[in-house]
A and B are shown apart, each in its own frame.
Chain A
Amino acid sequence: MIPLAAKFQSRPEGRSFVARLTNDKSLPSPLCDDEILVSRGDEPAPSGSYQGLIRIAGAAHSEEELILGDEFSYLDDGDIVRINEFAGELRVLYRKGSYHNVLFFTERCNSRCLMCSQPPRDVDDEYLIDDILEAIPLMSQDTKVLCITGGEPTILGWRLIEVLTAVSRYLPDSSLHMLSNGRAFAYRATAKAVSQAGCRDLMIGVPLYADIASVHNFVVQARDAFDQTIRGMMNLARFNIALEIRFVIHRQTVSRLVQTAKFIARNLPFASQVAFMGLETIGFTRSNLSVLWIDPWEYRDALREAVTMLAAAGMRVMVYNLPLCLIPEEIWPFAQQSISDWKNIYMPECAGCAMKAQCAGFFASASFKYSDHIRPFDTVSQLPSFSII
C-alpha cells in the first residue's frame, strides 16, 4: 500500500498549483514552468526556475523545499501532484509508471449502494475537475489507461464531456475506463454526447446487481435505478460505446448470481465484457457487513456456473478481486489481478504460496474481514485452458 496524500505545514500566503515532477536538475528554465524538482536524501538542489522543490527522505536545504517522508520515495519523473500550500496538502494525481491511474471526479452520487466503497457526500467538489483538466496536458503520451471514477461521473454533466474531450485531444492513444452507475445514459442525449467526445478507446463499467428490479434497486437504494441502468446500457450500445457489466458478489446479490449471468447473455449480449467482483470491505460495506458478507468459498459453485455460462455464450468474462484459492481452478483463466497496486496486500496465510505471483490477493481493507478458506498452494498449478466439458 502506498500513500497518495501528505500533510505539511501550511503557509497562509501560499499557492495552490498542479505540476509535474522531474528528476532533471539542469532543465533549461523555459521548460521548468510546470515542473517540480524532486531531490532525494542529501543530494544538492540547484535553485532554478522550477515551480517548486520537493525533497524526499532528507533534511530541508532551503525554505522553499517541501519535505516528504521515505514512504513517498516511489514518486518519480513524470508523476503529477497538486500542492496546496495554503491548506498544507499534497495530493498525487497521476503516476506515470502506474497502470492504475484514477481520475477521481466527484464524491457526489445519485445512488447509495449498500456496499459503496466510496460513500457519496453531497459536497461542492468541482475543484477536482479543475485539477484533472490541469493535469491531463501534463500526462505522458505513453499513458496506457486512465480510470474515471467517483462518485458518479455523469453527475457533472457537460464537465464530464470536457474531460473526455481533453483526454481525446491530449492523450489520443490512451484508453479510458469509466465507472458509472449508468443511470444518466437512460437519456439518449447523454450517451450521444459521450460518444461524440472523440475518445478512441472508452469503456464504461456499469454495475448490474440482479436480473430483477427489486433486488437491484434495493442494493443501490434507488427506486428507478434498474430501469434507468438497463435503458442506459441499451443507449450505450446504440451509440457504440463499449460496455462492461459489473456484478459485485455479496449476500444480497448472490442468490441471483447465476440468473443474472443468464439474463445478461440473453438480454445484454452487446456488452464487451462482464466482470464478477469480490466485495471490498470498506466504506458502507463496513456499516452493513453482517447483511453483505459472504465467504467467497460459499459461492464458488455459483460463480463457476455463471462464468462458464457466459463464456460459452461467447462473452468475455473477468473475475476481479478474488484470490485464486477461493475460486474453482476451472475459472482461473478468467481471474484478473485487478486490485490497484496501491491498495493490494496479501495475508499471512499467503506466505510461501506458489500461486502468489498470479493471485489477485486482497484489498488492504480486507484484513478487517476475510475468508476462512485461504490455503496456500504448494506447487504452481498450470492455468487450465478453458473448456466447459
Chain B
Amino acid sequence: MNGLNRSFKGPESYRNGSSYRLLPMKFMRFRDDRYLVTSMGGDYMFLSQTKLNDIVTHKLQQTDTLYPDLLASHLIADDSSTAHLDLLAAKYRTRHSRLPSWTALHMFVTTLRCDHSCQYCQVSRVSEDRESFDMTPAIADRAIGLMFQSPSACLKVEFQGGESLLNFDLVRYIVSEAKRRNDGRQLEFVITTNLANLTEEILSFSEEHGISFSTSLDGPAALHNANRPRPGRDSHAKTEEGIERLRQRLGKDAVSALMTTTAASLDQPERIIDEYVRMGFDSIFLRYISPYGFAVKSSARIGYETKKFVDFFKRGLAYIVDLNRRGIFVRETYTQIVLQKILMPGASGYIDLQSPAGMGISGIVYNYNGEVYSSDEGRMLAEMGDRTFRLGTVHDTYEKLFLDSPLLPMIHESMLEGVPGCTDCALQPYCGSDPVFHHRTQGDFIGHRPTSSFCERNMAIIKHILTLLEDDKETASILKSWL
C-alpha cells in the first residue's frame, strides 16, 4: 500500500485466500426483485435476486461491496475469522435470555363477575353470586405460593376478571400477602379493570402500594359504548373519569389503556388514535381481536377478515407516524414490539410474539376457582368447554404444573424452529408462536401456515415494518425513536 511505512504489511496480507461458506440463512421475496435475508441471530439485509443467486451459488467475489456486510451480518463466513460462531451463539442465546428466569407474569382472576356485557368477552358473568364466581383467600394463598416458586427475579401480579375490582377485598389480600411473603423479588402489581367501580378506598390502597392500572379504551365514546355495553351506556365516560382520577392520585404513568379492534373500528383508525392522544396517552396498541370468547359466536357482528385488520393497522400506523412528524409523540405498541425484535439484540418481553411460546413459561393464569391455565386465552377457551390449556389446579405441585402437565409438549410442538412454513420463513426471528390460536382455529398446536390468519396478519405487519425501515428514511427515523 502506497504511503504505508515499509515495516507494516498491507491489507492484502490480512485478507482471506479461501472461498466463503454459507451460514444458516432464510430468505423471502418482498416485491419485484428484492429479497429479505435473515441470519440465525436476527441480522437482516435486503438483496437483489441476482446477488442472492450469486451468493448461494458461491459466485460472489471478495471484492464485492456486499461481501464485508454479509460477513458482518453472519450470513456467510470465510477463513479470516471463526468468531462468528461465538457471536451467533451469543446472539441466539441473548434472544432467548428470558427463558431461564421462567414465569414472571402471574395473573389472578379475582372474580368472574362483571358489570359490563362486552360483545367480545366470553368469560364474565353479570351475577351477584359471590360464592360461585369469586376467588377465595385459600385459593389465593396456594397461588401465591406457586408464584414464589418461580425463579424469576421480578414477579408481576396482574389482577384480572371479570371485573377484578368487584372482589377488591381479595386484591388487597393478595397484595399484602405477596409483600409479606416476598423473599427479595421485585414485585409489581397491575389491576386490569374497566374503572367503573373506582373508590376512594381503592385509590388510597393503590397509592400506598404502588399499584398501576390497565384499562380498556376502544376509541371515541360512540364506538367504545357500542363495544362495551353497561347499564346506563356510560362506559366511556366512566373510563375517562377513572383515568383522570388515577392520574391525579398516582401519576401520569400509573394507567395504561388497551383497545380492541372490532368491525366497527375498521373505518376509523384516525378517530381512535385521536381519542388516545386527546386523553394524553403516548402509546396505543392497535390490537387484533382474538377468536375466543363471544368473538366467535358474534363474529358476524364484530369479527372481520385478517386483510381488513391489516389495512386498518397500516392506515393507523401511517397516521401515527404522521402525528409524530407534526411533533405529537405517540407510539404504536405492536410496531414497537416488532421493531425491537428486528433492530435490537435482546429478548422481547411481549408474551404473545415469542418462540417458544410465552404461555406458561412467561405468564400463567390462576383462575377464580383454583384452576391453573397456561394463558388468558386458554382460560377463555375453557369457559367455552375446551380445557386443553388447563395445567391443573393450585393444589398441584409447582413441578407437576410445569413439568408433568400438557404445557411442555404444547410449547415444544409449536416452536417456530420446527413448524412447517416457519422453519424456512425469513421472518422467523421476528415472529412468534401462538399454540392457543392454532389449536382453536386449525385443530392442533402447530397449525397450517398457508391458511393461518395468525401467519397472514403477522407476515403482513412485519413485512410492512421492514419495508418502511428500508424505503422511507424519514418514517424509519421516527420508528427508531420508539425503541
Contacts and interface: CB of A to CB of B under 8 A. Distances in A.
Contacts of A211: 68, 71-72
Contact of B480 (A114, A262, A312): A312
Given A312-B481, A388-B477, A114 B4 contact: yes
Contacts of B483: 312-314
B344 interface: yes
Contacts of A213: 14, 16, 71, 80-81, 83
Interface in B338-354: 343-346
A234 B90 CA distance: 9
Interface stretch (B5-13, B194-202, B245-253): B5-13
Given A269-B346, A314-B483, A227 B81 contact: yes
Interface string A69-105: 0000000000000000000000000000000000000
B33 interface: no
A256 B4 CA distance: 20
Contacts of A267: 41, 87, 90-91, 345
A313 B340 CA distance: 9
B343 A313 contact: yes
Interface in B58-90: 68-69, 71-72, 80-83, 86-87, 90
A306 to B, nearest CB: 14
A226 interface: yes
Interface in A213-250: 213-215, 217-218, 221, 223, 226-227, 230-231, 234
Of residues B80, B86, B94, B324, which shows the largest number of chain A Cβ atoms within 10 Å of its Cβ? Answer: B80
Interface in B15-32: 15-16
Nearest to A291: B3
B57 interface: no
Given A212-B68, A269-B345, A312-B480, A291 B82 contact: no
A389 B481 CA distance: 7
A214 B15 contact: yes
Contact of A214 (B11, B43, B345, B477): B11
B8 A266 contact: no
B478 interface: yes
B451 interface: no
A274 to B, nearest CB: 14
A259 interface: yes
Contact of B8 (A112, A212, A256): A112
A29 interface: no
A387 B478 CA distance: 10
Contacts of A377: none
A218 B13 contact: yes
Interface string B445-480: 000000000000000000000000000000001101
B1 interface: yes
Contacts of B478: 389
A229 to B, nearest CB: 9
Nearest to A256: B68
Q: Which of A214, A265, A288, A387 has the most CB of B within 10 A?
A: A214
A263 interface: yes
Contact of A230 (B3, B10, B83): B83
B4 A288 contact: yes
A214 B80 CA distance: 6
Contacts of A289: 3
A284 B4 CA distance: 10
A221 B9 contact: yes
* Most chain B beta-carbon contacts within 10 A, residue among A217, A259, A284: A217
- Most B C-beta atoms less than 10 A away, residue of A217, A256, A267, A284: A267
A382 interface: no
Contact of A226 (B3, B9, B81): B81
A288 B1 CA distance: 10
Nearest to A289: B3
Contacts of B50: none
Interface string B286-322: 0000000000000000000000000000000000000
Interface string A3-35: 000000000000000000000000000000000
A100 B81 CA distance: 36
A313 B344 contact: yes
A367 interface: no
A141 interface: no
Contacts of A284: 5
A387 B483 CA distance: 12
Interface in A163-222: 211-215, 217-218, 221
Interface string A273-290: 000000000001001111
A226 B91 CA distance: 18
A223 B324 contact: no
B69 A259 contact: yes
A243 to B, nearest CB: 14
Contacts of B14: 213-215, 217-218, 223
A344 B80 CA distance: 39
A291 B4 contact: yes
B3 A212 contact: no
A288 B480 contact: no
A287 B7 CA distance: 10
A74 B94 CA distance: 51
Contact of B5 (A223, A234, A288): A288
Interface string B130-162: 000000000000000000000000000000000
Nearest to B62: A214
A87 B2 CA distance: 42
Contacts of A291: 1-4
A226 B82 CA distance: 9
Contacts of B477: 388-389
Nearest to A238: B90
Given A269-B94, A284-B5, A263 B72 contact: yes
Nearest to B343: A313
Contacts of B42: 266
Given A114-B4, A269-B346, 4 more contacts: A214-B14, A252-B11, A287-B7, A288-B4
Interface of A: 112, 114, 211-215, 217-218, 221, 223, 226-227, 230-231, 234, 252, 256, 259, 262-263, 265-267, 269, 284, 287-291, 312-314, 387-389
21 contacts: A114-B4, A114-B8, A211-B71, A215-B11, A217-B80, A231-B83, A231-B86, A256-B68, A263-B72, A265-B345, A266-B41, A266-B42, A266-B43, A267-B90, A267-B91, A269-B344, A288-B3, A288-B8, A291-B3, A388-B480, A389-B481
Please name the 4 residue pairs, one residue from A and one from B, whose CB atoms are nearest each other, closest first: A290-B3, A213-B81, A287-B5, A211-B72
